């Protein structure tokens, strides 16, 4: 699973996907593990700001309710790839892609996931006060 917003809209042609993941179930890590939490903090604190307008979208890969299989950061230009904090946990690969859409970056500081959706996607139901 990815943040569904990344695939819902007008795709950005010729983008660069920095995929930090391993095609191996055993390589997945619990979202609650400290290093997986810290990577998300780093993404909010400096990785996303460093990317600026180059960022198209960012999503983690959720295997299920609790496990993270990596992340992809999609860019208009292949900038700052060596800084990708997700590469600390999962091996990175750069590929060209035409399938990902532009998504506003997460506002922070929320790290927790919403009902199992891949971070930073999801939200609770709209305000339903009567």
Partner 1 sequence: MIAPGERFPDLDLPDHTGRARRLSELAGGDPVALLFSRGWWCPKEQRHLREVTALQEELEVAYARIVVVSVDAPEVQSAFRAGLGARFTFLSDAERKWLARLDLLEESDTTHEPYRPTAFTLFPDLTIHRRYDGFWYLGRPTNEDLRQDLRAISAGLREDFER
Cross-strand bridge partners of residue 94: 18
Do 27 and 117 contact (CB within 8 A), yes or no?
Answer: no
- Evaluate whether 90 touches 21 at the Cβ level (below 8 Å): yes
Any contact of residue 125 with partner 1 (CB under 8 A)? yes
Asked if residue 9 binds partner 1 (CB under 8 A), the reply is no
Choice between 6 and 21, CB closer to partner 1: 6
For 120, the 3-state DSSP assignment is coil
Residue 8 binds partner 1 (CB under 8 A): no
Of 16 and 119, the one with the shorter C-beta distance to partner 1 is 119
Q: Cβ closer to partner 1: 49 or 96?
A: 49
Q: Measure the CA angle with vertex 38, ends 71 and 12; round to 5°.
A: 30
Q: Which two tokens stand for residue 51?
A: 């990317």
Lay out the site mask for partner 1 across 38-67 (x = CB under 8 A, - = otherwise): ---x--xxx-xx--xx--------------
34 binds partner 1 (CB under 8 A): no
């Amino acid at each position: 699973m990815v943040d569904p917003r990344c695939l819902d809209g007008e795709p950005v042609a010729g983008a660069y996907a920095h995929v930090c993941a391993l095609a191996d179930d055993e390589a997945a890590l619990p979202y609650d593990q400290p290093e997986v939490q810290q990577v998300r903090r780093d993404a909010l604190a400096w990785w996303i700001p460093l990317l600026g307008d180059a960022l198209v979208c960012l999503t983690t890969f959720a295997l299920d309710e609790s496990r993270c299989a990596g992340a992809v950061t999609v860019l208009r230009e292949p900038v700052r790839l060596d800084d990708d904090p997700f590469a600390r946990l999962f091996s990175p690969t750069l590929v060209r892609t035409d399938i990902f859409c532009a998504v506003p970056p997460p506002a922070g500081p929320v790290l927790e996931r919403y009902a199992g959706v891949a971070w930073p996607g999801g939200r609770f139901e709209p305000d339903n006060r009567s």
